[in-house]
A and B are shown apart, each in its own frame.
Chain A
Amino acid sequence: QSALPQPASVSGSPGQSITISCTGTRSDVGSSNSVSWYQQHPGKAPKVIIYDVNKRPSGVSNRFSGSKSGNTASLTISGLQADDEADYYCSSYTDSDSWVFGGGTKLTVL
């Protein structure tokens, strides 16, 4: 299965909010509550920041929020901080017992 489309890059200034979209289909994002988001800093392992569309793991800042509308999932980061600069990936469980990731979005904090 092909990677879910995400914007290649987004940017924002400290304190601003940004939103990253993840476009799926009825076979994955549209039919699944198992949509998750991951943050990956250079050279590090990915870290889950959102699961089940809009739930935050313990310890993850409430500046990170997730949502879904139809076949598109979104990640919003409010109050941007320098440490938020990283790559972000969405993921969805699919109706064929597989998982698919988004292509990834590079966030630059100006």
Chain B
Amino acid sequence: QVQLVESGGGVVQPGGSLRLSCAASEFTFNSTAMYWVRQAPGKGLEWVAFIKYDGSSRYYADSVKGRFTISRDNSKNTLYLQMNSLRGEDTAVYHCAKDGWGSWYFDVWGRGTLVTVSS
């Protein structure tokens, strides 16, 4: 069955950087668009970033534009999120999700990895 497993979370100081990874399996990763979605503790869901199946299009939420970069390595079935200039408000569980066959919805989600920005 489709599986998405995030890693790379942890505690980082404000202004620091972190790179998240999402290992995908049991679906055709190189034909599937992918997302990052985050959820701050006790809060709702927030879309963070999108990348097309071949990396040719990438979109970002205004809250992370210019600081975060989404990328993928189709040879490794892995999605990434490079996070720079981190702020306290970036503290959240970060989930990767696969697109639902071009219908622009979050079809399957990983369990997430917690990022805590604190001094």
Contacts and interface: CB of A to CB of B under 8 A. Distances in A.
B27 interface: no
Interface residues of B, number: 21
B52 to A, nearest CB: 11
A38 B35 CA distance: 15
B103 A46 contact: no
Interface string B61-104: 11000000000000000000000000000000001000010011
A51 B100 contact: yes
Nearest to B45: A101
Residue among B45, B47, B103, B112 facing the most chain A CB atoms (10 A cut-off):
B45
Given A45-B110, A45-B111, A52 B47 contact: no
Contacts, number: 62
A3 B44 contact: yes
B53 interface: no
A91 to B, nearest CB: 7
B109 A98 contact: no
Contacts of B105: 34, 36, 48, 51-52, 91, 93
Interface of A: 1, 3, 34, 36, 38, 40, 44-48, 51-52, 57, 89, 91, 93, 97-104
